[in-house]
A = this chain, B = another copy of it.
Amino acid sequence: MPLTFFTPGPAQLYPTFEKHLQNFVSGQLGSISHRSQQYRDIHRFTVEQLRILLNVPETHAILFLGSASEIWERILFSCVELESFHLVNGSFSKKFHDYSSALNKYAHQLEKPMGEGFNASEITVPEYTELICVTHNETSSGVQMNVAEIHKLKQKHPNKLIAVDMVSSAPYPDLDFKLIDTAFFSVQKAFGLPAGLGVWIVNEKCLKKAESIRHQYSIGAHNDLPTLWKNSLNNETPATPNVMGIYLLGKIAEDFNNIGVKNIRKETELKAQLIYKFIEKSSGFSPFVKEKPQRSQTVIVANTETPSADIIKVVKDKGMVIGSGYGQFKSSQLRIANFPATSTEQVQELINALEVI
């Protein structure tokens, strides 16, 4: 019996994945040159579908890299000469911060404990900050930063660049790319694809910044922004890309567009509501994130009274996989992914299984 994965990534593969994979294989697309028109058509199609899905204007390029972690590094290389500023409230926002230090930038941070989130009004951005780094969805703790708060933060600091990590939430957050300079995600989360591809949305301001930095500091050699950008104008990448991942992503994005991103967002909220309601009302479970507006719609974290490993086991025997807590919360929390690949019916089944416990 196949399992249903409610894990926060790698996650359940999207129902149409196998069909698209079969077409990739039968079309021999794994062998085509990445300098051929056939490749460029695939590349362009995926970019077009993502533009529609995420409402990305032509001021922004959509670029393909190996992973979201690689994109952290490329953003810092490109957009920060000296100082970045990070909202840190979990393991992944912390890593983004640590990457900046590792590149010998001065990485400021405003840190909160896991489970807590940020509002624009409480944030003081250090004066010489060049790039503000926010995490829309902290995969480790299930905290989400409201999109309106992200927009406010940028509006208060129009002359600083802002980067939004939406690794485990895209296409859920409805970002306004007139405000957001750069954002990124990976495909093994809400897009329901195997891991191995990161997507970088980035505007001309970031490109200009990279071009100005490069006279004095290294902006990296592999996948540096000016080279990526230049190649993208021709629907190509500097090095041989993950053609399979790019092809599949375009097809899934098209599927999402056929459903309509508004419908996907609405269904995400509906399913999240079901799960949170269950966690709130059931003894033995409680939501980790106290502030309701900061509760993630895509990665739901629950405190458990019994060791989470026991619950994971019982649920797995019923054909469903849920994630353990992250780091120090490994044994006292559950992480339940709520991505488009799992239907309302499947979420209801999961709740039924948890109810028995």
Binding site for B on A (CB under 8 A): 2-3, 5, 7, 9-13, 17-18, 21, 25, 28, 30-34, 65-70, 72-73, 76, 98-100, 102-104, 186, 188, 193-197, 217-224, 238-245, 321, 323
Contact = CB atoms under 8 A, between A and B. Distances in A.
B30 A240 contact: no
Contact of A221 (B17, B73, B186, B242): B73
A50 B245 CA distance: 24
B2 A99 contact: no
A239 B11 contact: no
B30 A13 contact: yes
Nearest to A9: B240
Contact of A66 (B30, B70, B193, B224): B70
A69 B70 CA distance: 13
Nearest to A3: B28
A188 B240 contact: yes
B69 A242 contact: no
Nearest to A326: B35
A245 B31 contact: no
A17 B26 CA distance: 12
B31 A243 contact: no
B69 A239 contact: yes
Which 9 A-B residue pairs are closest in the complex by CB-CB distance?
A66-B66, A196-B242, A102-B221, A99-B221, A69-B239, A30-B194, A73-B222, A5-B31, A195-B240
